[in-house]
Amino acid sequence: MLGHEELIQPQSYKWFFETTTAVEGHMHAIVRTVVAARTKFQNAEILETASYGKCLVLDGRIQSSAADEFIYHETLVHPGLLATEGAPARALVIGGGEGATLREVLRCPTVSRAVMVDIDDEVVALCRTHLPEMHQGAFDDPRTELRHEEARAYLEHTDLTFDLIVVDLVEPLADGPACLLFTKEFYALIRDRLAPGGVMTMQAGMTKVGELFFFSAVHRTLREVFPVVRGYQAFVSCYGTPWGFILASKRTDPASQSAAAVDRLATERMSGKPRYWDGQTHLHAFNLPRFIRQAIDTQGRIITDKHPLIVT
């Protein structure tokens, strides 16, 4: 253990201030900037922070950190892997530049083909080089098919169907690449590319008090497309806020799965033991508090191509 005299004093750090809302933010002490670049689509940085290690930052917002990315990525992927009817064979990842979402999908040994579509090849290349602890070789897995194109165009033209589709996209910023990937029309494309017993999972923004407009709007929009829509959440430390996720399917309802069933399916379908997700975590995540349930029932609008929702 370091003695007090050996500790680096706070004033010796540079600080990264992330705005989480128009009136709030979260500060991180920066050890070093690993790389910074302007891609064709967004500003990308990989920063090493004192608390969370290396972080991927896109357009000024942290996407994941080395210390707690397992919480985000297991929460994003595992409910879907464990809710498909039968063991999943084909999976599609939309976005997911770090490769960690792909990594979690590939933990399922029955997945024989995993397509990852991320439009920003420069971000993927940066992550491939500088974040090996996150992708853990997933890009080089023989089951992986990596494509750099618009996800919407891919869905419109592919004739493949998938047992699992995971949407791991940045929020739809005004100048970002994801504006039309959170609309009713886009979700209808996903529905049409799912197998009958297939499942979609996605990240859906903050679930903190006073900031449920995005989560509730996406939830409302998905209900126009899918018969089963279930929101859930996890606290992701590096974000400094609870984070929302949504599972949508044609048939399977994750809220009907018991803790014992989730643990059994995890043993059957996953290689290695998850660090975060299990049956008890599943029950906790899908049992949303009352204020969020009320927001889902009473707030939110349908997001369409003509009236997209922009996060500021």
Half-sphere exposure of 286 (CA within 13 A, CB side): 24
Residues forming beta bridges with residue 15, ordered by sequence position:
29
Beta strand 90-95 pairing with 162-168: parallel
Q: Is 163 an active-site residue?
A: no
- CB count, 10 Å around CB of 47? 22
Q: Of 168, 175, 278, 297, which residue is the catalytic one?
A: 168
Give the pair of three-digit tokens for residue 71.
């919480």
Q: What angle do CA 229, 275, 64 make, to 5 degrees?
A: 70
Q: Where in the sequence numbering do the catalytic residues fall?
A: 168
